[in-house]
Amino acid sequence: MSVIVGRLREIGRYPAIATAIAVLSGAGVFALATTVFAYHSTNHDEAVYLMQAAMLLEGQLELHVTEATDAFRPWFFIEDGNRLYPKYTPVPAAMYAVSMALFGEPRVTLAAIAAGNTALVYLLGRTVFDRPVGIVAATLFAASPLAIVTTSVFLPYAPTTFLNLLFAVAYLRNLRTKSLATACVAGIAIGLAFFARPYTAVLFAAPFVVHALYRVTTSIRDGGLLPPADPVRQHGATALFGLLFVGVTLAYNLQMTGSPLLFPYEAFAPLDGPGFGRRQIL
């Protein structure tokens, strides 16, 4: 009996340790953001996301001006007649806007994202391996300079990482629980990640998509399409919500650029695609 009690205490200790690591990660990022990066970094993209956040709080996706566009244009904004709209999608800015509205301080979002990413890394390690591996993974992630610095400034990398990690954790948990709720969460997370940074989301989701297609095709081959088996229902729900936000992304493109397949990023600089070579911004 004492062995069982000791084992239960040991298991219960890991979530508390993971929570402590996540809280310390968030507090450390907030401290760094308010001291070292009190006046932001040398990356001018921060201004774009903060201006987008302010625009969203005023219910605007674009600016409407007159002759002033010839004299002044915000950094990384596209001029289209009397309209100015940012080259970046509004998902990261919306995250910053939440804490701006609630606390008057967008850096609260940075701390929340740091804590969230650390917690999700723990859950991912625990799901794939075990709790000790999750603790080690969360510690290494929270202490890595790349995670600390990129989360302490107003850039899209940490928010998109949060969405991708949430997708991965929900997807893997869904395989075990067969819960439609977690399947829907996975679809919403990767859909939002696609809206935020399409190329990153597609690269991250590709192995999961291949795995899902394999499970679905195997299930249909073995049992037929009707009634739908668990893999068909689970991955179908994930795909449904993921594609819903793909549709939102294309609708946003249509509103901003006039074409669902023309992203604002590409409208700003057509030659700034993946890979090396000439950059339009030059």
- Looking at per-residue pLDDT, the higher value among 219 and 160 belongs to 160
Q: What is the pLDDT of residue 140?
A: 97
Q: What is the pLDDT of residue 231?
A: 84
pLDDT digits (tens, 9 = 90+) for 123-173: 999 999 999 999 999 999 999 999 999 999 999 999 999 999 999 999 999
If you average pLDDT over each of 75-84, 133-142, 173-182, 219-228, which comes out highest? 133-142
> Lowest-confidence range among 53-57, 119-123, 175-179?
175-179
Whole-prediction pTM: 0.90
Query: Residue 245: pLDDT above 60?
Result: yes
- Looking at per-residue pLDDT, the higher value among 268 and 55 belongs to 55
HEC string of the chain equals: CHHHHHHHHHHHHHHHHHHHHHHHHHHHHHHHHHHCCCCCCCCCHHHHHHHHHHHHHCCCCCEECCHHHHCCCCCCEEEECCEEEECCCCHHHHHHHHHHHHHCCCHHHHHHHHHHHHHHHHHHHHHHCCHHHHHHHHHHHHHCHHHHHHHCCCCCHHHHHHHHHHHHHHHHHHHHHCCHHHHHHHHHHHHHHHHHCHHHHHHHHHHHHHHHHHHHHHHHHHHCCCCCCHHHHHHHHHHHHHHHHHHHHHHHHHHHHCCCCCCHHHHHCCCCCCCCCCCCCC
If pLDDT is split at 50, 70 and 90, which confidence band does 1 have? very low
Q: What is the pLDDT of residue 268?
A: 84
If pLDDT is split at 50, 70 and 90, which confidence band does 8 have? very low
Query: Residue 59: pLDDT above 90?
Result: yes
Q: In angstroms, rounded to a whole number, what is the distance separating the alpha carbons of residues 189 and 241? A: 9
Residue 39: is it exposed, middle or buried by C-beta count within 10 angstroms (0-12/13-18/19+)?
exposed
If pLDDT is split at 50, 70 and 90, which confidence band does 5 have? very low
Mean pLDDT of the chain: 89
Q: CB of 137 within 8 A of CB of 122? A: yes
Q: What is the mean pLDDT of residues 16-45?
A: 94
Name the residue among 46, 106, 39, 40 with its Cα closest to residue 74. 46
